[in-house]
Each structure stands twice: as structure tokens, then as C-alpha cells.
Chains A and B, each alone.
Chain A
Amino acid sequence: MGINADMVGRTFTLNPFEVERGKIREFAAATGDKNPIYTDRAAAEAAGYDDIPLPPTFGTVVGFWALDETRQTEQLGLPISGVLHGEEEYFYLAPILPGDTLTGERKIASLVERKGKSGSMQIVALETTYTNQNGQEVLKSRTTIVLPENMQEG
């Protein structure tokens, strides 16, 4: 089963996520990025940052680690498995620093049904806006997921 069209516009709040230097270091290492600005605060400051910055795709860390999948499934009707990732886009609105606490508000922005060679599929766009502890919007992500008919039971 896919997502009902009446879920478009529905929102869901992720758990608060505190940005930690150790997590930034781990993520940079996992993507093979050895830039010392991700591990050494002095190197980050020398490069013009106030503290250790976030790698460009760190938003995905927040999106997964702050996600209660069971609650998201209940509130947005999104399946946990059998989903393919089609596109990802980030908009960097303001600096994020270690110690910041981010809260994501996720919305089903659009839902398109498409018929392909191997059956029908749903293409769902999720928009997540992350706000810091001061109420400032710092990051936006747009995730396009594909729900093929034949994988939706998976």
C-alpha cells in the first residue's frame, strides 16, 4: 500500500537533535573527508569558522537520528521499508555550530502517481525545515522518495 493523497500537507515534528563534535568527526570520516576543519577546532577557526562546521550532507544525520520511524509512519503514513531515494537537496540558511539543538518539521510537499513499465509508483517529496534553539531556520532539505508498487510490501 502506498500513501493516501490526503496526507499531502500533513506535518510531523522530528525529535530535537543536539549537534556534537564527535558526530561531525564520525560523519566526515565515514564519507572519506579528511579536511582537518571537521576534527580540529583550531583548523576550523583558521579557515574562518567559529567552531567545527558541518559537512554539506550532515542534514541526513539529523534526519535519521532524530527520526522516530514508528511515529512518522503513524502521522505521515510513510512506509519504513521498500522506499527508494530519488533526489536530495539542501538549502543552507544559516550557520550551524556544535552545541546547537535542531528541531525538524517535516511536511509531505507533494505526491505524484506515475505509471511505468513495471507497474505504478508514487513519487513523494518531503520538505524538512530545521530550526535551532533560538527559533532561527538554519537548514531546509527536500527529499524525493519513490514507492514502487512491487516493493511496497517489503
Chain B
Amino acid sequence: MSERTTAPARVFFEDVSEGMALPELVNSPITHTMLVKYAGASGDFNPLHTDPAVGQKFGLGGPIAHGMLIMGFLGHFASDYLGGPGPLKQFGVRFKNMTRHGDVITCSGVITQKYEEDGQHLIKANVFAKDQTGEVKASGSFTASLPARA
């Protein structure tokens, strides 16, 4: 996990090109404590995430991480690239596979589109959250409106 003490730098429209890869974000391994913290912060107290017995009962082999925690990692990743959450216009993901204790989630992405519309300087990117084996846990995209230097 990044030990950031200063805000990320802003990115300008001129700095972006289609096909450009975004800097990866490697998150700390998923722990029970992390899921309990996320449950309290988000208000999602579904016991599938925090009660090992419930995860067993449903045949999931133990607790599974909140999908929204994985989307939270991707949101962190996107806003680190964009210099904060402000430029985001749209952000969506599809949950593909379950995440378990010990999994290390790496966020990656690539710029797919750069265009101007209604006076705005917009980019689209595809984003992925994968575990240590490369299995995709969530994938999706975001649209952001960037400042222009010109």
C-alpha cells in the first residue's frame, strides 16, 4: 500500500494518450481486520464478509471480501492517477470473482479514448483488479474530465 503523504499531482489532457497504461496500485493483502473495518465504514454488515461460519455455511470456504472494497481499491487507483476524485464523471465495474483472505489485489488500467465534447476534455479508461494469480476480481471503466493547459 502506498505511504502517501502528499496529494497526487494533477494530470492534464495534453499528458494523456490513447493506449497509455496507468501506474499500477498494489494493495495490502486482504485480512479479516480489513473486512471488519470496511464493513463499519461502508455500513455493509452482510455476515458473508465478516463471519467465517456464515461463509462456510454457504459453501464459500470462508469469508469473502466486499465487492465494493475491490471497487474502492479501483477508485483509489483512478483518483491517484487523476490527481483526486474531482475529474471523475462516471465509474462502473462488474464483479467477476470472489476475493478471499490473503489475496493481493493489484489495480491496473489503460486509456482507451481521448476526446472533446461540449467544451470538456474527456478521457475513458478500462480498469482491472486482479489477484496474485492474475484472476480478474472486477473490471470496468471510468470517464473523467481533465483540465487542459491550452
Contact = CB atoms under 8 A, between A and B. Distances in A.
Q: Are these two chains actual partners, yes or no?
A: yes
Interface of A: 23, 26-27, 29-37, 43, 46-49, 53-57, 60-61, 63-65, 67, 81, 85-92, 95, 142, 151, 154
B95 A57 contact: no
B93 A32 contact: no
Contact of B89 (A43, A47, A92): A92
Given A55-B85, A85-B67, A90 B44 contact: no
A53 B86 contact: yes
Task: Give the dominant DSSP class at A's interface.
Answer: mixed
A88 B92 contact: yes
A154 B58 contact: yes
Nearest to B141: A89
A90 B92 contact: yes
Contacts of B3: 34
Contacts of B41: 23, 26-27, 29-31, 61
A31 B78 CA distance: 13
A55 B72 contact: yes
Contacts of B55: none
A95 B89 CA distance: 11
Interface string B77-101: 0111001111011111111000000
Contacts of A81: 46
B73 A31 contact: yes
Interface of B: 1-8, 10, 27-28, 34, 37-38, 40-44, 46, 58, 67-69, 71-73, 75-76, 78-80, 83-86, 88-95, 140
A86 B1 contact: no
A60 B4 contact: no
A53 B88 CA distance: 12
Nearest to A64: B43
Contacts of A27: 41-42, 72
Nearest to A30: B41
Given A30-B42, A31-B75, A35-B4, A89 B37 contact: no
Given A35-B80, A64-B43, A89-B92, 5 more contacts: A27-B41, A49-B86, A53-B84, A89-B140, A92-B90
A36 B73 contact: no
Contacts of A61: 41-43
A55 B86 CA distance: 9
Nearest to A62: B43
A64 B10 CA distance: 31
24 contacts: A30-B40, A30-B41, A30-B72, A31-B41, A31-B73, A31-B75, A32-B76, A34-B2, A35-B7, A35-B76, A35-B79, A36-B4, A36-B7, A37-B84, A43-B7, A48-B10, A49-B84, A53-B84, A53-B86, A56-B85, A88-B68, A92-B88, A92-B91, A154-B58
